[in-house]
Amino acid sequence: MLELRKDIFADERDDNLNEVGKGTQRQDMLGHVTGTSTYFNDHKLQGMLHLRVVRSTQPHARLRRIDTSEAERSEGVRRVIRGADVPRNLNTLLSLINFGKDDEPTLAVDKVRYRGEPIVAVVAESPRAAAEAAAKVRIDYETLPAVFDVEEALKPGAPVVNETYPKNAFTYHERYDHQKLRFGDVERGFAGADHVLEQRYQMSPIEHAPVETNGSIAAPDTNGRYVVYTSTQALFFSLDTCAKILDLPSNTFHFIGGTVGGGFGGKVDTLTEPLAILAAMLTGRPVRYVLGREEEMQFGPPRGAERIYIKDGVMRDGRIVARQIRGYFDSGAYTRLSSYAVVKCAAHLPGPYTIPNVHGDIYCVYTNRTPATAMRGFGITGMDFALECQMDKLAHLIGMDPMEFRILNAYRDGDMKAHRREAKNTALIECVQVAAEKAKWPIREEFRRMSSRKDGGGARAAVPSTPREPASARPAPAQQRTSYDRRLPISPSSEPPPPQSPAPAPAHGATRFSSVFGTRRR
């Protein structure tokens, strides 16, 4: 049973917690143990058709020709769907909150940008008929050079992955190719430090691998609407995304979800619903589109890879005096949510420590990999892995106990954070103390007596003077143009666009994402 340390911060809490610390039955548990919880795929509808997607076998290629004639004649096929059949083929997920440009097709039309990208959908009487017909779709690829490494992708001459962002980096506020954090002067900090440690960290992509794969069933309803059973973790978000892609009012759809067979962030991208609904619209029949396990692994979005460089200046007595971070998020071929993860990551720097000089640059980079998405704390988790590895190395370097080293540098109430907000309700010191105690890890008395609520503020509350950088750093290099790009109008001007005020936040909802607008709440 959970042990609650009510002695910590006792004065901040009315002790009226009735449920925390007690075992409580999940409301859906009885359904789970009797097998009666209804997942999307447990619905069987009369006359249901099955949708299968033909996917790119190439990480980067121009589509010279797509021949579906043989597939259309294949037994049991009711409909073959191409990009031109999708009312608004291009979308970006966060366009619902006015963030980012439409950069991703539902079905690829003239180019594919990652292996597994959907190109054609086949709708047939049985899963087998759909699979057999899908195998008859002929696609003629013109292979393009591909880039799989975030730093390679930013170099001059790298292949352009996604023409919406021709420099292979997401553009913030129409002009910035990364998120910046500047607080104090790291160069001066390094110059005065006893030791400087610079390290490179790489976190690989991570697949959520839910036991239930992504999928949905869409069916014409009796009132001209469409009912959609879906595995989505984000029911209304998916509904609105479908309304946009299918160019219909959102009340056309009745989404039914709720019981999700594991998600962890891998079921927020509206992967299957638009095509399932479109197929139901085009055939007048219920349509099921469910990913196989291989599709889930290849096409299902992972937590994106991150490459992180950390350079720290540390004093012999254990104080970190400067921290410089460069991070690259691998968004894969399209934006999805990585642009937002980068904002979150920049907001997390320099970790839960009070450091007087902080310098951060975080990039959202396009590569020819499967687009990345949310997963349990994305934007933070990878950076924390790097930061905490770095903390251990720093402690080792100066010969200090790693727990005590963290306690010493932990932020305390009243400290100024690198974002120029006062730290409040901090508790890292207490967490480390309890962790040490549980692990029977000896820490010295003076560190056991330290508190998040003592010795913060004062000089630690000051905003250090921060040198301004020369306006507009070097213009980002032009990437190599592929034969595909040459057919596109290329923006004639190499001038940076005029400064623009950030897009206003929509008046409704979406407060969780408010930070992406750079607007201040409160």
d(CA 213, CA 266): 9
Residue 296 burial by Cβ neighbours in a 10 Å radius (0-12, 13-18, 19+): buried
Task: Rule CB under 8 A: say whether 392 interacts with another protein.
Answer: no
Which partner, another protein, ligand FES, none, binds residue 288 by CB below 5 to 8 Å per kind?
Answer: none
And the tokens for 393? 């190395």
Cβ of residue 31: shortest distance to another protein, in angstroms? Answer: 7
Cβ of residue 211: shortest distance to another protein, in angstroms? Answer: 5
Q: Which is nearer to another protein, 291 or 428 (CB)?
A: 291
Q: For residues 120 and 37, is the Cβ–Cβ distance under 8 A?
A: no
Which partner, another protein, ligand FES, none, binds residue 258 by CB below 5 to 8 Å per kind?
Answer: none
And the tokens for 450? 């330290």
Query: What's the 3-state SS for 330-359?
Result: EEECCCCCHHHHHHHHHHHCCCCECCCCEE
Contact residues for 465 (Cβ-Cβ < 8 A; gap 6+): 184, 185
Q: Which is nearer to ligand FES, 60 or 288 (CB)?
A: 288
Which partner, ligand FES, another protein, none, binds residue 26 by CB below 5 to 8 Å per kind?
Answer: another protein
Q: Which is nearer to another protein, 46 or 494 (CB)?
A: 46
Q: HSE on the CB side for 172, CA within 13 Å?
A: 21
Cβ of residue 32: shortest distance to ligand FES, in angstroms? Answer: 7
Q: Which is nearer to another protein, 272 or 357 (CB)?
A: 272
Given candidates 4, 5, 6, 28, which one binds another protein under the rule CB under 8 A? 28
Which partner, another protein, ligand FES, none, binds residue 367 by CB below 5 to 8 Å per kind?
Answer: none
d(CA 297, CA 299): 6
Task: Rule CB under 8 A: say whether 298 interacts with another protein.
Answer: no
Given candidates 122, 260, 320, 358, which one binds another protein under the rule CB under 8 A? 260
Cβ of residue 211: shortest distance to ligand FES, in angstroms? Answer: 4
Task: Rule CB under 6 A: say whether 33 interacts with ligand FES.
Answer: no
Given candidates 127, 205, 258, 262, which one binds ligand FES under the rule CB under 6 A? 262
d(CA 324, CA 346): 12
Segment lying near another protein (by CB under 8 A), choices 21-29, 243-251, 335-343, 474-482: 21-29
Given candidates 1, 84, 211, 507, which one binds ligand FES under the rule CB under 6 A? 211
Cβ of residue 258: shortest distance to another protein, in angstroms? Answer: 11
Task: Rule CB under 8 A: say whether 22 interacts with another protein.
Answer: no
Task: Rule CB under 6 A: say whether 377 interacts with ligand FES.
Answer: no
Cβ of residue 260: shortest distance to another protein, in angstroms? Answer: 6
d(CA 234, CA 127): 27
Q: Which is nearer to another protein, 37 or 95 (CB)?
A: 37
Given candidates 42, 392, 446, 455, which one binds another protein under the rule CB under 8 A? 42
Which partner, ligand FES, another protein, none, binds residue 220 by CB below 5 to 8 Å per kind?
Answer: none
Q: Which is nearer to another protein, 239 or 290 (CB)?
A: 290
| Residue 277 dihedral angles phi and psi, to the nearest 5° | -70, -45
Q: HSE on the CB side for 284, CA within 13 Å?
A: 0
Segment lying near another protein (by CB under 8 A), choices 24-32, 91-99, 302-310, 405-413: 24-32
Task: Rule CB under 8 A: say whether 262 interacts with another protein.
Answer: yes
Q: Are strands 118-124 and 226-230 parallel, antiparallel or unpaired?
A: unpaired
Contact residues for 145 (Cβ-Cβ < 8 A; gap 6+): 60, 159, 480, 482
Q: Which residue has the tokens 């998020």?
A: 329
Other CB atoms within 10 Å distance of the CB of residue 196: 16
Contact residues for 363 (Cβ-Cβ < 8 A; gap 6+): 150, 154, 169, 170, 177, 178, 179, 327, 328, 329, 342
For residue 502, is the peptide bond before it cis, meaning its omega torsion is within 30 degrees of 0?
no
- Alpha-carbon distance values, 432 to 258, 383, 445 (Å): 37, 19, 14
Which partner, ligand FES, another protein, none, binds residue 29 by CB below 5 to 8 Å per kind?
Answer: another protein
Other CB atoms within 10 Å distance of the CB of residue 13: 10
Given candidates 21, 31, 87, 475, which one binds another protein under the rule CB under 8 A? 31
Cβ of residue 265: shortest distance to ligand FES, in angstroms? Answer: 14
Q: Which is nearer to ligand FES, 179 or 213 (CB)?
A: 213
Give the amino acid at 234: A
Count residues binding ligand FES (CB under 6 A): 2
Task: Rule CB under 8 A: say whether 212 interacts with another protein.
Answer: yes
3-class secondary structure, 325: strand
Given candidates 39, 148, 176, 201, which one binds another protein under the rule CB under 8 A? 39
Given candidates 7, 19, 20, 44, which one binds another protein under the rule CB under 8 A? 44
Q: In 3D, which of 408, 402, 421, 495 has the Cα closest to residue 452?
A: 408
Give the interface with ligand FES as residue ranges (CB under 6 A): 211, 262
Give the interface with another protein as residue ranges (CB under 8 A): 23, 25-26, 28-37, 39, 41-42, 44, 208-213, 259-264, 290, 292-293
